[in-house]
Amino acid sequence: MIHIFQKGTNLSAPVLLLLHGTGGTEHDLLPLGQLISPESSVLSVRGNVLENGMSRFFRRLAEGVFDEEDLVFRTGELSNFLDRAAAQYEFDRRNIVAVGYSNGANIAASLLFHYEDALRGAILHHPMVPRRGIELPPQRELPVFISAGHNDPICPAQETLDLEALLIGAGAHVHTHWEYHGHQLTRSEVDAAAAWFGKQFLHK
């Protein structure tokens, strides 16, 4: 997968896996990584699927209607890529925290829906339920931060509540941050994610 790896100054801090929104690139969320954990190594990945020239992490049939077969395939592809990247860049595979926005948050959530040890934690900005009707693997005490908009037209509030419930049902510790700025990724939600990350992983 096309990606950027930047080695951090604190090699015991979690590696941030940055996953952009529809139409983004591996460059988009680099400033977010800096705000969340400037000392962390960063692995920023570009989605492998193109929709009218826009990069995504999996195909969709319509707005909010996912191609499940492709979702499962692409989730496996990303998971395998993480195994290879950890070996290539010599970081601990078990020390990855995903930071995703929109379509990137959805593939990060999909990792948690399909694999038990995919991530050490996740920051999901405006995620949806990636897939319904499956049993999640155990995600015991996995720290998850969700940010959502009460008035998000792409991820309705109920979708956030459903995702929260499914992750909690699998054992995750979920913190949800609500705003009123639609589907926008705001500075205040990133600041909230950074504060949460500091407490969870850097003991700040």
User: Which of the residues are catalytic?
Assistant: 102, 152, 183
Residue 21 Cβ vs ligand MLT, minimum distance, rounded to whole Å: 5
Q: Does the footprint of ligand MLT cover residue 22 (CB under 6 A)?
A: yes
The site that binds ligand MLT (CB under 6 A) totals a number of residues, namely 10
Instruction: By CB under 6 A, tell whether 110 contacts ligand MLT.
Output: no
What part of residues 121-150 is at the interface with ligand MLT (CB under 6 A)? 128
Alpha carbon distance 129, 64 (integer Å): 10
Q: Are 40 and 18 in contact (CB under 8 A)?
A: no
* E-assigned strand segments in 21-149: 42-45, 49-51, 54-56, 60-62, 65-66, 96-101, 121-125, 143-149
Which phi and psi (to 5°) does residue 174 adopt? Answer: -105, 130
Element (H, E) at 176: strand 173-179
Q: What is the closest distance, in whole angstroms, from the C-beta atom of residue 200 to ligand MLT in the complex? A: 25
- Tell me the residue number closest to ligand MLT, measured at CB: 103
Q: Which of 59, 60, 173, 181 binds ligand MLT (CB under 6 A)?
A: 60
Q: Is 75 in the site for ligand MLT (CB under 6 A)?
A: no
What's CA 103's distance to the chain center, in Å? 9
User: Judged by CB under 6 A, which stretch of 68-76, 98-106, 135-143, 173-181 contacts ligand MLT?
Assistant: 98-106
Q: How far apart are CA 47 and CA 49, in angstroms?
A: 6
Residue labelled with tokens 């049939």:
61
Nearer to ligand MLT by Cβ, of 128 and 192: the residue is: 128
160 binds ligand MLT (CB under 6 A): no
Pick from 106, 139, 147, 200: which binds ligand MLT (CB under 6 A)? Answer: 106
Q: How far is CA 120 from CA 45, 85, 95, 163, in A?
A: 18, 16, 6, 18
Q: Cβ distance 136 to 120 under 8 Å?
A: no
Q: Kindly tell me which residue out of 44, 103, 139, 160 binds ligand MLT, with binding defined by CB under 6 A.
A: 103
Could you say whether residue 64 binds ligand MLT (CB under 6 A)?
Answer: yes
Question: Contact residues for ligand MLT (CB under 6 A)?
Answer: 21-22, 60, 63-64, 102-103, 106, 128, 154
